[in-house]
Amino acid sequence: MKEKDLRRSLSVLPIGTVMKLTSLTARQIRYYEEQGLVFPERNDGNRRMYSLNDIDVILEIKDYLDEGLNISKIQDIYKKRKESNEQNGNSKELSDQEARKILSDELLNIGGLNSKDAENNSF
DNA sequence: GTTCTCACA
DNA sequence: TGTGAGGA
């Protein structure tokens, strides 16, 4: 399973491919990178090379955007997700449980932010 | 032909 | 966000 993760993290896709796969504009894709949502590598001559992992994230971002979240909120979600993934270097199973919880919180948050200001942090 | 950065409508 | 300029 590590093999897949490795390939999945290999950055080999030019922005044009990502555009087609995500149906977003280059502008948006670059913007999300600027916002720290995806981290493409910059191999030959300053060209952004995205990985399947990035595609996944971008697709997810698109999804969140579609559900009414703004960039800053998405940034927050990913920030927290990363923290949860990195804080437990001793237990992978716990990380998985945490990941599930985080996802649940995200969904709850999406539903709850419509009426009031869940803007800050309820979790 | 494709992508990059910067800047402005 | 879109788009155009100017370069690689």
A53 and A82, same domain (yes or no):
no
Q: Check whether A89 has a pLDDT greater than 90.
A: no
Model pLDDT, residue A111: 63
Segment A45-88, tens digit of pLDDT: 899 999 998 998 899 888 888 877 788 888 888 877 777 666 66
A25 and A10, same domain (yes or no):
yes
Report CA Rg, chain A. 16
Question: What is the distance, to the nearest Å, from the Cα of residue A17 to the centroid of all Cα atoms in its chain?
Answer: 18
Q: Which domain holds residue A11?
A: 1-66
Model pLDDT, residue A86: 67
A4 and A60, same domain (yes or no):
yes
Question: Which nucleotides in chain C lie less than 7 Å from some protein C-beta?
Answer: 1-3, 8
Q: How far in angstroms lies nucleotide C8's C1' from the CA of residue A46?
A: 9
Question: Which nucleotides in chain B lie less than 7 Å from some protein C-beta?
Answer: 2-5
Asked if A76 and A68 count as a contact pair (C-beta separation under 8 A), the reply is: no
Q: Name the domain count of chain A.
A: 2
Model pLDDT, residue A30: 95
A90 and A101, same domain (yes or no):
yes
| Spatial distance between the Cα atoms of A99 and A62, rounded to a whole number of angstroms | 20
A56 and A76, same domain (yes or no):
no
Model pLDDT, residue A83: 72
Q: To which H or E segment does residue A10 belong?
A: none
